[in-house]
Chains A and B, each alone.
Chain A
Amino acid sequence: MHTLQLKLKQQAAFRPIVRVNGKNVKLKKNEFGHYMANIQVEQPEAEISVYTVPNELTYKHWFIMSMLFFIVSVFGIFDSWKIKSNDYSLSYKGKINVLETSKLELVMEKPTPNGKALTAKEGAFEDNESNVYTFHKEVKKRKKILIATKVACWIVAVIVLVVCLV
């Protein structure tokens, strides 16, 4: 058995999800807000993936699902308010060597176009082409479409209400 002591520092406001050999790793925050985990692996070579949850508007059925949330939340009244939405996402996959007890300290950098997403402060990891943030340029356009649709729905709802009451 080999143990990897993983520390993940955040420069960006993302919630990272870490997988080692295909299994989700339970991350615990320490007093400084850094994610920590002790991972046990059988083989000295392990596959690690670090990814973030992308914006819901990047998915295939974004419009149907968004409208469903809008209706279920009674025209968005009970929906959770997200002030900032992430237009970036990360999907890193690489290999690491774990000797008996290895330490790996990664830093999640602030998203910049073509900039590295993860950098190692301690230990080594495979720096490959997946170590970059993906910018979802379609999100802004979809957000505008969604806002316009929601406003239209509100106008129709108010008209229907007024007609019913009069």
Chain B
Amino acid sequence: MNRYEITRQYLGHFGSIFFNIGIAGVVLALACIASGVLWVVALLFFVFFAFISVVFTLGTVLTFENYRKFLSNTKDLLFNQGLVDVMEKMMQAFPYIVAVTAAALIASFILLLPDRQNTKSKTRLIVLGVMFALLIALVIVVLISGRV
């Protein structure tokens, strides 16, 4: 093994670490955007569950105190200020998450490039391109909606 091969191996290892950081960043950025969507999905699920359970038990389920408690607790969880705060904070953090993720993705691309003969690194480079496109799309969506 010559020095060049060892360096390439080390750079590839650093590249894979930054790749993993980048992937986590994209998922987090996606979660920032989708936090509103997730809330709507949770609300729909809650309404659907409540409706189905009442219909199927012909309303007798409402006589159980535990069930009524469950409904009120879930309603509080969905509508209280805490959840809205989390969503707001996530949107505030969005530009920083995007910056760190973009830096990690670019660093990963540069570090994995010399190791592109390796099948794993080649796959990672392709995934990196997709992730970068997704990140740019997220930024455009946020800029258009004017949420930041």
Contact = CB atoms under 8 A, between A and B. Distances in A.
Contacts of A124: none
Interface string A65-103: 100010011100011100000000001000000000000
A53 B13 contact: no
Dominant SS among interface residues on chain A: loop
Contacts of A142: none
Contact of B17 (A26, A79, A91): A79
B14 A51 contact: no
Given A26-B117, A56-B13, A79 B5 contact: no
Interface string B1-40: 1000110011001101100110010000000000000000
Interface residues of B, number: 15
Contacts of B24: 78
A80 B9 CA distance: 13
Dominant SS among interface residues on chain B: helix
B17 A54 contact: no
A56 B9 contact: yes
Contacts of A74: 21
B1 A78 contact: no
B145 interface: no
Contact of B13 (A51, A54, A69): A69
B119 interface: yes
A91 B1 contact: yes
A80 B1 contact: no
A53 B117 contact: no
B118 A15 contact: yes
B148 to A, nearest CB: 26
Contacts of B119: 15, 29
Interface in B42-87: none
A53 B9 contact: yes
Contacts of A72: 14, 17
Contacts of B20: 73, 78-80
B116 to A, nearest CB: 11
A26 B119 CA distance: 12
A163 B88 CA distance: 29
A24 B118 CA distance: 13
B17 A69 contact: yes
Interface of B: 1, 5-6, 9-10, 13-14, 16-17, 20-21, 24, 117-119
19 contacts: A15-B118, A27-B117, A53-B1, A54-B1, A56-B9, A56-B10, A65-B10, A69-B13, A73-B17, A73-B20, A73-B21, A74-B21, A78-B17, A78-B20, A78-B21, A79-B17, A80-B16, A80-B17, A91-B1
Given A53-B9, A78-B20, 10 more contacts: A15-B119, A17-B5, A24-B117, A27-B117, A53-B5, A56-B9, A56-B10, A72-B17, A73-B17, A80-B16
